[in-house]
């Protein structure tokens, strides 16, 4: 166990004042960070206004939860940062859920699950900026075969905010995986899926909607969704260990996930070669905490990191503020308790799956079913990435405990 840094209250106060002064200058105060090296520079916690003793609480929890053959969390990595800099990343536990699994690798690549989705929506917003896509358009303008009861009324906006009425998983999800169906088949069935409700009248998290957005990106760009992410986002940011689908990476770098019960067949589970290389837009990204931190820095810096601008500040603002208020037929309780931006979710205090009790409603991010959470605070410029290989649905409170400990460390 690493000992917390021994710093004085005065040193903490001085570092807090220094960080506060930099943040008061706005995003431009740290927009030059990342020039040269694309990864974020690493500093001691107190240099960016983070109390190392409080941060140690999160580390201690992860060490406790990942210790022993019956550990509830086989393995995890955590990275905390602020204003374009991070503290040293920490990893705990094992590379897989097996009791005899090897220790987690320093270069471990995690299965991001649904944390993939914000990058798909980022691709859509990049096309919006280029004059190729409108959120207020009917989906049928871009996918003419998106037809059926009430489907012709669906707007692109509904796909971005999980208000389209599309289901989360396809009814034939397991069957398609068992047959090793290609991505094209999953997209086709997502387009044909029946709606759960009329678009814009309710909320239901929908992986099928992300599949449809990926198809819109493919049709408008002339590239596959994996090509678009690689050429337009991943390569410009200089990310070397991030990919939609694991092709080209040694499989021993990939952290093996704890899988749901319906995935007992190893031939199509999250850990199978088929699924790892599948590159699902709804949940097929692989990355490291250090590399995904670049995405966090870019979003907190108005769409720019180093000398690369992917999004305009106006776009970032729309993506990271509650867009539920843009839909007149959405019930008020949903607007208040299920806030979504465009691809990014906002913290939802008072809900069982909230990310933390100490995070404001302005905090945005995303979770993944494989045990991941990423959040960013536009007010403090702080961010947190927790990647793990346990099923989040079995104990979502673990990520909340960790988020609370991290949030309490910002001074």
pLDDT in tens, 375-386: 999 999 999 999
Domain termination site, one of 224, 240, 266: 224
Look at residue 331 and tell me whether its pLDDT is greater than 50: yes
DSSP codes joined into one string, 335-376 = HHHS-B-SSSEEP-TTSTT-S-TTS-TT-EEEEETTTEEEEE
* 238 and 359 share one domain: yes
- Check residue 25 and give its pLDDT: 37
pLDDT band at 68 (very low <50, low <70, confident <90, very high): confident
- Check residue 7 and give its pLDDT: 34
CA-wise closest residue to 313 among 358, 237, 238, 378: 378
C-alpha angle 392/334/158, rounded to 5°? 85
* 218 and 310 share one domain: no
* 93 and 220 share one domain: no
DSSP codes joined into one string, 117-149 = HHHHHHHHHHHHHTTS--TTSBGGGT-TT--ST
pLDDT band at 343 (very low <50, low <70, confident <90, very high): very high
Identify the weakest region by mean pLDDT among 162-176, 200-214, 241-255, 347-361.
347-361
Count of structural domains within the chain: 2
Judge whether 205 lies within some domain.
Answer: yes
pLDDT in tens, 201-247: 999 999 999 999 999 999 999 999 999 999 999 999 999 999 999 99
Question: How many Å separate Cα 55 from the centre of its chain?
Answer: 22
The rounded distance, in Å, linking the Cα atoms of 175 and 189 is: 12
* 133 and 266 share one domain: no
| Phi-psi sector, 203: left (phi>0), alpha (psi -120 to 50), beta | beta
DSSP codes joined into one string, 248-313 = TS-GGGBPPPPPPGGG-STTTSTTSHHHHHH--TTT-EEE-HHHHHHHHHHHHTTTEETTEE-S-H
Q: How many other CB atoms are found less than 10 A from the CB of residue 62?
A: 24
Judge whether 382 lies within some domain.
Answer: yes
The rounded distance, in Å, linking the Cα atoms of 162 and 196 is: 11
Judge whether 7 lies within some domain.
Answer: no
Look at residue 153 and tell me whether its pLDDT is greater than 60: yes
Look at residue 23 and tell me whether its pLDDT is greater than 80: no
* 206 and 269 share one domain: no
The rounded distance, in Å, linking the Cα atoms of 198 and 165 is: 6
Residue bearing the bigger pLDDT, 32 or 340: 340
- Check residue 259 and give its pLDDT: 87
Judge whether 14 lies within some domain.
Answer: no
* 390 and 242 share one domain: yes
* 35 and 159 share one domain: no
Alpha-carbon separation of residue 15 from 172, 219, 332, 401 (angstroms):
54, 49, 42, 26
pLDDT band at 70 (very low <50, low <70, confident <90, very high): confident
Judge whether 138 lies within some domain.
Answer: yes
Mean pLDDT throughout 103-132?
97
- Check residue 10 and give its pLDDT: 35
**Inter-residue contact 358 to 386 (CB < 8 Å):** no
Domain termination site, one of 169, 195, 224: 224
Decide: residue 63, CB within 10 A, 0-12 exposed, 13-18 middle, 19+ buried. Answer: middle
Domain termination site, one of 224, 254, 274: 224
* 243 and 374 share one domain: yes
Judge whether 338 lies within some domain.
Answer: yes
* 199 and 241 share one domain: no
* 234 and 218 share one domain: no
Look at residue 32 and tell me whether its pLDDT is greater than 80: no
- Check residue 152 and give its pLDDT: 96
pLDDT band at 27 (very low <50, low <70, confident <90, very high): very low
Look at residue 29 and tell me whether its pLDDT is greater than 80: no
Judge whether 174 lies within some domain.
Answer: yes
Range ranked top by mean pLDDT from 10-19, 48-57, 61-70, 169-178:
48-57
DSSP codes joined into one string, 151-217 = GGG-BHHHHHTT-S---SS-TTHHHHHHTT--HHHHHHHHHHPPPSS-TTS-----HHHHHHHHHHH
Judge whether 5 lies within some domain.
Answer: no
Look at residue 317 and tell me whether its pLDDT is greater than 80: yes
- Check residue 344 and give its pLDDT: 98
* 197 and 262 share one domain: no
Tokens linked to 70: 């019956």
CA-wise closest residue to 69 among 100, 103, 105: 100
- Check residue 14 and give its pLDDT: 39
Q: How many other CB atoms are found less than 10 A from the CB of residue 239?
A: 20
Mean pLDDT throughout 334-341?
94
pLDDT in tens, 249-259: 999 999 999 98
* 177 and 263 share one domain: no
Backbone torsions φ then ψ of 334, nearest 5 degrees: -70, -40
Q: Which domain holds residue 161?
A: 118-224
**Mean of per-residue pLDDT scores for the chain:** 90
Identify the weakest region by mean pLDDT among 280-284, 290-294, 309-313, 398-402.
398-402
CATH code of the domain in which 357 resides: 3.40.710.10
């Amino acid at each position: 166990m690493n000992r917390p840094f021994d710093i004085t209250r005065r040193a903490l106060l001085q570092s807090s004042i220094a960080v506060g002064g930099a943040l008061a200058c706005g995003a431009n105060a740290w927009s030059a960070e990342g020039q040269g090296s694309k990864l974020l520079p690493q500093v001691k916690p107190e240099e960016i206004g983070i109390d190392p003793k409080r941060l140690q609480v999160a580390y201690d929890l992860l060490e406790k939860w990942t210790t022993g053959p019956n550990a509830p969390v086989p393995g995890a990595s955590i990275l905390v940062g602020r204003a374009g800099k991070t503290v040293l990343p920490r990893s705990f536990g094992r590379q897989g859920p097996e009791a005899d699994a090897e220790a987690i690798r320093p270069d471990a690549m995690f299965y991001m699950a649904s944390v993939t989705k914000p990058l798909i929506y980022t691709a859509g917003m990049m096309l919006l900026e280029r004059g190729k896509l409108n959120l207020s358009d009917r989906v049928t303008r871009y996918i003419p075969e998106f037809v059926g009861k009430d489907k012709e009324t669906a707007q692109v906006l509904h796909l971005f905010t999980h208000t389209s009425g599309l289901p989360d998983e396809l009814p034939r999800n397991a069957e398609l995986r068992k047959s090793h169906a290609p991505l094209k088949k999953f997209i086709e069935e997502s387009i044909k899926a029946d709606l759960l409700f009329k678009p814009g009248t309710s909320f239901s998290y929908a992986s099928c909607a992300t599949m449809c957005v990926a198809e819109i990106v493919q049709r408008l760009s002339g590239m596959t969704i994996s090509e678009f992410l690689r050429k337009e986002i991943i390569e410009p940011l200089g990310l070397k260990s991030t990919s939609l689908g694991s092709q080209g990476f040694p499989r021993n770098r990939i952290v093996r996930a704890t899988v749901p019960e319906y995935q007992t067949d190893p031939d199509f589970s999250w850990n199978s070669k088929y699924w790892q290389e599948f590159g699902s837009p709804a949940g097929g990204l692989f990355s490291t905490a250090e590399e995904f931190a670049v995405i966090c820095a870019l979003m907190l810096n108005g769409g720019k990191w180093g000398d690369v601008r992917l999004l305009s500040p106006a776009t970032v603002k729309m993506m990271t503020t509650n867009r539920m208020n843009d839909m007149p037929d959405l019930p008020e309780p949903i607007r208040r308790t299920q806030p979504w931006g465009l691809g990014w979710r906002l913290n939802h205090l008072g809900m069982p799956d909230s990310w933390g009790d100490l995070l404001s409603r302005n905090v945005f991010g995303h979770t993944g079913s494989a045990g991941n959470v990423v959040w960013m605070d536009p007010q403090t410029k702080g961010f947190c990435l927790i990647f793990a290989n346990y099923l989040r649905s079995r104990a979502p409170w673990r990520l909340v405990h960790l988020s609370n400990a991290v949030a309490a460390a910002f001074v």
